């Protein structure tokens, strides 16, 4: 891949405030990831009691996380009913939502059966790799 193309990708990441980008051209591919120094600086500044509180309140149940960076969509098309709702029973392999990445719609499927207890993202949210999306009880 040409160094000018890589420079353009870096500029695109900066302009769009992207944390990660992956591009494939034929048999060549490149993946760029940015570190977020703001998050790292914010963690030490938090009081110890505040940092410990969320850990103590971590809910039980399985969590589905994002396999990629992209935009989350709760429904197949605008104006349609969402794939899942809180309280709904899902089976392993059932579609929970869609992540749009590089103009490709990628279905997010349940890895196990259970009841949706919480939807942790909103329709149209930009999500990161590994970000929790759904919590359900098996």
d(CA 126, CA 9): 19
Considering the chain, tell me which residue range(s) the CATH 2.40.50.100 domain(s) occupy: 60-138
Percent of the chain at pLDDT exceeding 90: 29
pLDDT reported for residue 3: 75
Q: Write the burial class of residue 98 (CB in 10 Å: 0-12 exposed, 13-18 middle, 19+ buried).
A: buried
Q: What is the CATH number of domain 60-138?
A: 2.40.50.100
Q: Model-level pTM greater than 0.75?
A: no
The 10s digit of each residue's pLDDT in 83-101 is 999 999 999 899 999 999 8
Residue 56 has pLDDT above 60, yes or no: no
Nearest to 99 by CA among 136, 131, 67: 67
pLDDT tens string 15-52: 777 777 777 877 777 777 766 544 444 445 545 454 44
């Amino acid at each position: 891949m040409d160094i000018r193309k890589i420079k353009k990708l870096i500029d695109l990441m900066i302009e769009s405030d992207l944390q990660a980008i992956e591009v494939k051209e034929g048999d060549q591919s490149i993946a760029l990831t940015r570190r977020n120094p703001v998050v790292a600086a914010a963690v030490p500044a938090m009081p110890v009691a505040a940092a410990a509180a969320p850990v103590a309140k971590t809910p039980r149940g399985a969590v589905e996380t994002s396999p990629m960076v992209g935009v989350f969509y709760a429904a197949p098309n605008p104006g349609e009913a969402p794939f899942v709702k809180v309280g709904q029973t899902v089976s392993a392999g059932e579609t929970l939502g869609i992540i749009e990445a590089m103009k490709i719609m990628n279905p997010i499927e349940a890895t196990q059966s259970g009841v949706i207890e919480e939807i942790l993202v909103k329709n149209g949210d930009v999500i990161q790799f590994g970000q929790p999306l759904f919590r359900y009880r098996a």
